Structure 1
Amino acid sequence: MTRFFLFLFLLFSTTVFPQNFDINTLRSANLYRNENLDATFKTITHSYAVVSIGTPLTLYAVGLINNDPKLKKEALFIGESVAASVFITIALKEAIKRERPFVTYPEIQKLTTAGGYSMPSGHTSIAFATATSLSMAYPKWYVIVPSFGWATAVGYSRMHLGVHYPTDVMAGALIGSGSAYLSYKINTWLQKTKKKEIL
């Protein structure tokens, strides 16, 4: 059922009807942006790799140092969520083959590097996979609020910088969060299987 709704969302996102919403919203974010924030949003958009790779690596290293199996397990879960989001995003980009907005609409100002296809947003997918898995591992407001605040800022930065449509960002957020949930369900199933084997 979840796959069906994801398929419908992606299908809807690439039809003609929401294209007006897509480009009009993008024009507002890109052409009428506060140019004083360009450098800030470039920093935010590039932070996705540092945070998404650094978070699980740091947690795992601390787990090793402190001989903490739980911390290492949580680090692996976050890393698996990010890896799953990368795999799904790449597959969908190649399947959908949506051109970048600055290719279709030359007036859109491209303010950062962007390669490959547009749908879904890889930066957003990875950021939301990190935020969701981190929030699932540590379900405290002081983890959840900044995590999703940062992921949302990464998503918005992709529009501000002119390299993604709003529906690319929304799809990325859905895929990233879904990847974390999928990783959680798989890990839960594997743990139950191991327990049954031991018994």
Structure 2
Amino acid sequence: MEKNLSSSIINGIITLIIACVSCNVAAQNKDIDLLRRINAGRNNDLDGAMRSITNSVYPVAAIVPVAELVTGYRTHNRKLIHGGWQTIAGLGVNFGLTFGLKYAINRARPYVTYTFIVPDHYNKDPSFPSGHTSFAFNTATSLVIVFPKWYVAAPAYTWAVLTGYSRMRLGMHYPTDVLAGAAVGTGAAILAYKGNQWLHNKRSRAKDKH
């Protein structure tokens, strides 16, 4: 069952990425049209808030597992300890997938291809998938796996969605970059969780044999 779910997650991510990369001209036009509406129609007074959301991603992604581990070891809470290491594993998987895809696909940033897109700043790394979005969804999903409560899920995923929106609003990514980032980040967290379960079950079976 776990293997089937993991395979389904991987296949789903691959299917989405292929669909985004190989989309036809009409779909590409919709992609840039939606980005233009979000970017050109933005209220510049909100740029500071959007920038703050974007800039929060990597610090939050680092703080969450550290907080889980520190609290877990101090209180001898094995659930938090496992959750902290699992979150770190998820971040590692997400890092490999996100940046591996970025440089394999090598999609130019929207403001490079379309001069009417006004970016908040200029990045040299490729556009697809959105790294900020993938790490936001990865962190949110890992957090919800450890704390499966609605009052954790609601703010965590609201923050992740706003991160994706901020990347488009600031002119840094296409909608398909953000969609793929959300899928990769979520999938990486679930794969880390399933991998942790498999490892735990394997160790339990080994102990039972002795």
TM-score bracket, normalised by the shorter chain, equals: over 0.9
Cα drift, residue 136 of structure 1: 1.2
Instruction: Map Cα deviations across residues 16-66 of structure 1 (whole Å, 9 max, x no partner).
Output: 332111101101111111111000000000100111110111111111222
Aligned residues: 199
Residue number among 101, 105, 112 corresponding to 1:96 in the alignment:
105
* Higher deviation after alignment, 159-168 or 112-121: 112-121
Instruction: Map Cα deviations across residues 159-187 of structure 1 (whole Å, 9 max, x no partner).
Output: 01101000000000000000011011111
State whether residues 12 and 18 of structure 1, in contact with CA within 8 Å, keep that contact through their aligned partners in structure 2.
no
Residue number among 6, 16, 21 corresponding to 2:13 in the alignment:
6
Structure 2 matches for 1:124-135, cutoff 5 A?
Answer: 124-135=133-144
Instruction: Map Cα deviations across residues 55-79 of structure 1 (whole Å, 9 max, x no partner).
Output: 1111111112222222111111112
Aligned to 2:80: 71
Indicate how the Cα distance of structure 1 residues 4 and 70 shifts in structure 2: closer, same or farther if over 3 A, else same.
Answer: closer
Structure 2 matches for 1:37-52, cutoff 5 A?
Answer: 37-52=46-61
CA RMSD of aligned residues (A): 1.2
State whether residues 57 and 135 of structure 2, in contact with CA within 8 Å, keep that contact through their aligned partners in structure 1.
yes
Unaligned runs of 5+ in 1: none
TM-score (norm. length: structure 2): 0.91
Aligned to 1:196: 205
* Higher deviation after alignment, 1-10 or 47-56: 1-10
Q: Distance in 1 between matches of 2:26 and 2:144?
A: 35
Cα drift, residue 114 of structure 1: 2.5
Cα drift, residue 113 of structure 1: 4.5
TM-score (norm. length: structure 1): 0.96
Cα drift, residue 115 of structure 1: 3.1
Structure 2 matches for 1:112-131, cutoff 5 A?
Answer: 112-131=121-140
What's the secondary structure of 2:26's corresponding residue? coil
Instruction: Map Cα deviations across residues 4-25 of structure 1 (whole Å, 9 max, x no partner).
Output: 4333321221223321111011
- Percent pairwise identity: 40
